[in-house]
Amino acid sequence: MCVSMCPMGAITMRDGRAIVDPGACTGCGVCEDECPVGAISLA
């Protein structure tokens, strides 16, 4: 869910894990809100 919701396309899935590209991430927080398992935190 978080991969498809990221407006910057900064998240990909690899081996069942969400990988965030820090160079593409703007810190908007959409992924944190949409992650179904709470695996992404911007804190």
CA separation, residue 1 to residues 8, 39 (Å): 14, 12
| Domains by residue range for the chain, with CATH | 2-34 (3.30.70.20)
Confidence of residue 5 (pLDDT cuts 50, 70, 90): very high
Q: Return the pLDDT at 38.
A: 86
3-state secondary structure of 9: coil
Residue 23 CA to residue 36 CA, distance in Å, equals 24
Residue 3 CB-density burial (10 A; 0-12 exposed, 13-18 middle, 19+ buried) = middle
Q: Return the pLDDT at 25.
A: 94
pLDDT digits (tens, 9 = 90+) for 8-43: 999 999 998 888 999 999 999 999 998 888 888 887
pLDDT at 1 over 90: no
